[in-house]
Amino acid sequence: MGTTEQTWELRLYIAGKTPKSVSALSNLKKYCEEHLHGKYKIEVIDLLEKPQLAEGDQIFAVPTLVRKVPVPIRKIIGDLSNEEKVLVGLNIISVKSSVDVK
């Protein structure tokens, strides 16, 4: 699919600096450094400041992580505490594991 060549565009929607959003962001950074080193961009959107952006990405829960690129769009909600689920959700683990196995 060539997804690994692309820069991953990730967007994290939060609502204020709640413990959940803080842990989500730190978790996300950790995973990205680990699995997508240098090929990712994280944009953090605080809905308290920009509520108008919630509708565009169909956000209803926070924190929500949206994978804009590569398509298709995928969403992960929650504080991203479960690494495996995040990686599966973002479709990162399959890439990594396939490399590992081969």
Partner 1 sequence: MTKKINKLQDQKKAGLLPKSRTGINGLDEITEGGLPAGRPTLICGSAGCGKTLMSIEFIVRGALIYNEPGVFMAFEEKADELAVNVASLGFDLNQLIDDKLIRIDHVHIERSEIEETGEYDLEGLFIRLGYAIDSIGAKRVVLDTIENLFAGLDNQTVLRSEIRRLFQWLKEKGVTAIITGERGDNSLTRQGLEEYVSDCVILLENRISNQISTRLLRIVKYRGSVHGTNEYPFLIDEDGISVLPVTSLQLDSAVSTESISSGIASLDTMLGGAGFYKGSSILISGTAGTGKTSIASSFANANCLDGKKCIYFAFEESPHQIIRNMRSIGIDLNNHIKSGLLEFHASRPTLHGLEMHLVAIHKNIKRFKPDIVVLDPVTNLITVGSVSEVKSMLIRLVDYLQNEGITVMFTALSLNNTFNEQTDEGISSLVDAWLLIRDIESNGERNRGLYVMKSRGMGHSNQIREFIIADEGLELVDVYLGPDGVLVGSAREAHILREQTGQALHGQAVSRKDREISRKRKLLEAKIAGLQTEFESVEEELNKVYLEEELKHKIQEDNRREMIEKRKSIKAKK
User: Other C-beta atoms within 10 Å of 3: how many?
Assistant: 14
Q: Which residues contact 19 (CB under 8 A, 6 or more apart)?
A: none
From 72, 100, 101, 102, residue interacting with partner 1 (rule: CB under 8 A): 72
5 binds partner 1 (CB under 8 A): no
Contact positions with partner 1 (CB under 8 A) in 8-67: 13, 15, 20, 23-24, 47-48, 51-52, 54-55, 58-64
Q: Is 68 in the site for partner 1 (CB under 8 A)?
A: no
- In terms of DSSP bridges, do strands 64-69 and 8-14 run parallel, antiparallel, or are they unpaired? antiparallel
51: part of which helix (H) or strand (E)? none
Options 9, 42, 44, 75; binder of partner 1; rule CB under 8 A: 75
Give how many residues touch partner 1 by CB under 8 A: 33
Residue 75 CB, shortest distance to partner 1, in Å, is 5
Task: Please state, in angstroms and rounded to a whole number, the distance separating the CA atoms of residues 59 and 64.
Answer: 7
- Alpha-carbon torsion angle 5, 11, 99, 86, nearest 10: -170
Residues that bind partner 1 (CB under 8 A): 13, 15, 20, 23-24, 47-48, 51-52, 54-55, 58-64, 72-82, 85-86, 88-89
